[in-house]
Chain A
Amino acid sequence: MNDTNLLIKDLTGYPPTWCPGCGNFGIIRAIRLALAQQNLTPSDIFVTFDIGCSGNMNDFLNANSMHTLHGRAIATAIGIKLAHHTKPVLVVGGDGGLYGEGGNHFLHACRGNHDLTIIVHDNMVYGLTTGQVAPTANKGYKSRSTPSGIIETPINALALAISQGATFVAQTFANDAKHMAEMITKGMQHKGFSVINILQPCVTFNKINTFEYFLKRSYKLVDHDAHNMHSAIIKSLEAMEEKFPLGVLYENKDRLPFHEELLGMDGNDTLLSSQRYTDYDILTQRLS
């Protein structure tokens, strides 16, 4: 076995419990591959998992991790990054957890440009709770919770992320492990808030947005200027026509990540490793 394969083995936990044919198998392969190619072992990284089929990856991917509450994976990851800014922090969750239940955290984490890599399993349906509509589902989608079709229009996570301050926004597809790994690696290398939206068919509960559906409607970006916010927004709006560009839609290298703008948080001295503060006289001066 070469080094990459050894590392992949290190990163491999319990055997997955997903449905046969689930896009998650490809996604976990891509995550392990991206980590191994960057020479990262389980103790080098932090991952927060949301709740759902995607979040169940907690037992299948070895890492320092938190299997958080539903919707809270991003907010929790921010706390880890503040404590340990020298280590990469990934977030793994579904569209329901990260755009729905945790939508507020997503929005504000974009604004903060926290140095996290967000991997969203976007399958437009709730799997673990057996087939209710997701916030990314197309208008009219019929599900067990919306038998007459959903009235709301889908959240446009890419447009939202770009407009709210995320500095790396990419989209990829669950049947292309190599492309996914490439996007994840790029996202991790990027200093700032990276969103990687993975289009993923749910073979059990979503009979509309299938492999064939995504294959027909997705295409790889070529000659796209990812550093131009205007063209990135235009690309992100194609979702409204059910067209899905794959690749890096947007990248802004000019803005500092949150922790680098914090007072005193620079170099390798982390919040955890820094010296205890004991000069109380300075603080009590005004308390008299």
Chain B
Amino acid sequence: MQYSWKISGEAGFGITTVGLTFSKICARHGLHVFDYAEFPSLIRGGFTTYEVTLSTSNIGSLKETLDMLVCLRQDGFDRDKHRLTPQSVVLFDQDTVEVEGDFVQIPLPLKSLRTKHKAFQVMVNTISLGATLALNGWNIQTFYSILEEEFGRKGQEIIDHNKILAQEGWDYVTDLVGKDKELQKKLANSIHANSIISSHSKPLSQKQLLLMTGNEAFSLASVVADCRGYFAYPMSPASTVLTTLASWAKHTKMVVRHVEDEIAVISEALGCAYAGVRSSVGTSGGGFALMVESLSYAGVAEIPLVVYVAQRPGPATGLPTWTGQGDLLFAVHAGHGEFPKIVLAAGDIQEMIEITTKAYDLADTYQVPVIVLADKLVAESHATIDNQWFKDFTKKHTPKRGKLVMHTDQNPYLRYKDSPDGISEYLIPGMQKGHFWQANSYEHVEDSHTTEDAEEVVKQVEKRARKLSTYLNSGDYQPPLVFGDIQSASIIFVSYGSNKKAILQAQTMLQDENIHNAYIHFTHVYPLSETLVKPLFDASGIYVLIENNSEGQLDRLLKSECNIDQITHKLLKYDGRPIFAHEIVTFTKNLIQ
């Protein structure tokens, strides 16, 4: 069971702030949250929406219908009226928005309330949220606490003003409903009939759930992994990693650098990483494109580095504030020349934390660049995770640095010494008197000096390549996760990344209709082990690729890496919007009919 709430209005007037506040209130009431904001790539004048999906378990994705829609602008209603049902509640500004249709209407005189309290336009949101809470039958205290936390620095006057406005919205709706028996009856059949809302009317005594975006999860996991250098140039949708880590730097002492361009970003990170400090960079496709030459340097010089790539639709500037998965093959093939790299992808917050901490370990263990692939949907959407899970996770996590050492017994020390697993001892430079080596971007011999000798070249090429087979045969490589039973499934979904939530949701919906299905979910997307992956593709069900791009890149990767050609159908979406569970359900039903 899910509940969906959406607010929409003018860009630049606090829609995302009020949306996040509602998400926070719900998380503090013990509800699992998944939210999603749509906004244009401009600061003022466009149209912004914020959608919050609530559930009692952590599998929530976006819902097809809306349970409550708050419209501050006419187009907010017009664009989403097709998602309304007779049980939906529409809260609207009666001074500027006209609504018509079969749903529960709650008109709010926002303009006059605003004038009465001499409030700015952005404060209209506060009134609307107060009104929302009243309709939910929730008290306003959690909202007050958040106002105090968020506006604390702006002074008591601002806090009090917002509290008055929130209370005004709450009182107005309470009064409106209280004197209208007809309305009470309608609400009893809609919002009050929804147990998600009715059984979570009070905040929990302790904060049991954390609410964060994928970017915040990457940031947090980087701290947990003992990353001490983060380098970036702002680019949507990865920018909030930079701002989050920068805001934490006073505590963590991490060096968080906003550098002049992406080439400098990765160059500085490589210098820092070479010197033994765990380092990472973050960007989106365009910025990553600028970093690619240096990725190849990390490859040949065997410098550990984590690269966070939050995808948005390209090519070129593309759709900066929307979502997509068009850079999977770009990430896999990034860099000139041949060198090993590892690509991981996160489908939700918990996976992001697990995969990110692991990425730093893998970068050190295999002395390779590791790419953590995300997309706008997972990077910027907030979702809840269990606080206790996070605490337990951090307790048992110790960074694994592989063969990075502060002291070597080798004399002379050979930085690129050939070895059966391809991995050489990495003496952190400057640590041991008398020993030194170079991180050479030229091909080199074992002691790191430049070479053009044919035999030495082959030795190093093969040594580096061997690291990937070591990885694939180790416990570090994880074959895809399988949800459901492949053998009995008539439909088997194949996907990676943020589609996970929608697919898991669709799986339940299909199962409810007795359509047996399974889902193969990739987190370790490159390299792939044919031995471990191919057997998952020998069942008799229909294999359906689900991807947020137009070319079906994961299918191509499976073909080229694992000789898999069992995928016969593809659900591809490439309009900048995420894939919805109901779209998967419809696609599947059409397929099997």
Contacts and interface: CB of A to CB of B under 8 A. Distances in A.
For the complex of A and B, the 5 pairs showing the least CB-CB separation, nearest first, are A79-B271, A83-B275, A75-B267, A79-B272, A64-B429
B253 A277 contact: yes
B438 A78 contact: no
A284 B384 CA distance: 12
Interface in A108-151: 108
Contacts of B267: 68-69, 72, 75-76, 78-79, 105
Nearest to B209: A288
A171 interface: no
A43 interface: yes
Most buried by B among A51, A76, A84, A286: A76
A2 interface: no
A67 B276 contact: no
Interface in B257-287: 257, 259-261, 263-264, 267-277, 279
B138 interface: no
Contacts of A72: 263-264, 267, 294
B434 interface: yes
Contact of B301 (A41, A66, A274): A66
A280 B259 CA distance: 26
B211 A288 contact: yes
9 contacts: A43-B433, A64-B438, A79-B229, A79-B272, A79-B273, A83-B271, A108-B264, A274-B253, A283-B220
A56 to B, nearest CB: 8
B154 interface: no
B275 A84 contact: yes
Contacts of B438: 58, 63-67
Contacts of B429: 43, 46, 64
A105 B210 CA distance: 40
Interface in B188-237: 207, 209-212, 216, 220, 223-224, 226, 228-229, 231
Interface string A49-61: 0010000101100
B382 to A, nearest CB: 9
Interface in A208-266: 262-265
B430 A84 contact: yes
B440 A41 contact: no
B56 interface: no
Nearest to B252: A277
A82 B272 contact: yes
A169 interface: no
A67 B220 contact: no
Contacts of B293: 69
Interface in A57-100: 58-59, 62-69, 71-72, 75-84, 87
Contacts of B133: none
A22 interface: no
B437 A82 contact: no
A277 B275 CA distance: 19
Contacts of A42: 436
Given A67-B442, A283-B220, A263 B270 contact: no
Given A78-B271, A79-B271, A283 B440 contact: no
Contacts of B430: 43-44, 46, 64, 84, 87
B220 A68 contact: no
Nearest to B273: A79
A200 interface: no
Contact of A108 (B28, B253, B260, B390): B260
A38 interface: no
Given A41-B434, A65-B436, A104-B260, 13 more contacts: A56-B450, A67-B441, A76-B268, A82-B257, A82-B271, A83-B275, A84-B275, A107-B260, A272-B275, A272-B277, A276-B399, A287-B220, A288-B210
B250 interface: yes
Interface residues of B, number: 68
Interface string B136-171: 000000000000010000000000000000000000
Contacts of B223: 277, 280, 283
Contacts of A67: 438-442, 450
Given A87-B430, A271-B228, A69 B441 contact: yes
B449 interface: yes
A263 B253 CA distance: 7
Interface of B: 24, 27-28, 149, 207, 209-212, 216, 220, 223-224, 226, 228-229, 231, 248-255, 257, 259-261, 263-264, 267-277, 279, 293-294, 297, 301, 387, 390-391, 394, 399, 428-430, 432-442, 449-450
Nearest to B391: A280
A69 B297 contact: yes
Nearest to A259: B255
Contacts of B250: 263
B88 to A, nearest CB: 29
Given A43-B435, A68-B267, A287 B212 contact: yes
Interface residues of A, number: 55
Nearest to B440: A67
A264 B255 CA distance: 10
A3 interface: no
A100 to B, nearest CB: 14
A79 B279 contact: yes
A48 interface: yes
A65 B439 CA distance: 6
A278 B228 CA distance: 12
Contact of B276 (A59, A272, A284): A272
Nearest to B28: A288
B398 to A, nearest CB: 10
A1 interface: no
Contacts of A62: 436
Contact of A75 (B220, B271, B434): B271
Of A63, A66, A105, A287, chain B has the most CB atoms within 10 Å of the CB of A287
Contacts of B272: 79-80, 82-83, 271
A253 to B, nearest CB: 25
Given A75-B263, A108-B260, A59 B450 contact: yes
Given A288-B24, A288-B387, A80 B433 contact: no
Contacts of A43: 429-430, 432-436
Nearest to B438: A65
Contacts of A271: 228-229, 253, 255, 272, 277
Contact of B210 (A58, A64, A262, A284): A284
A71 B432 CA distance: 29
A82 B268 contact: yes
Contact of B449 (A14, A44, A82, A278): A14
Contact of B277 (A51, A56, A83, A87): A83
A77 B391 CA distance: 37
Most chain B CB within 10 A, of A71, A75, A108, A272, is at A75
Contact of A64 (B229, B297, B437): B437
Contacts of A66: 270-271, 274, 301, 438-441
A41 B271 contact: no
A80 B391 CA distance: 33
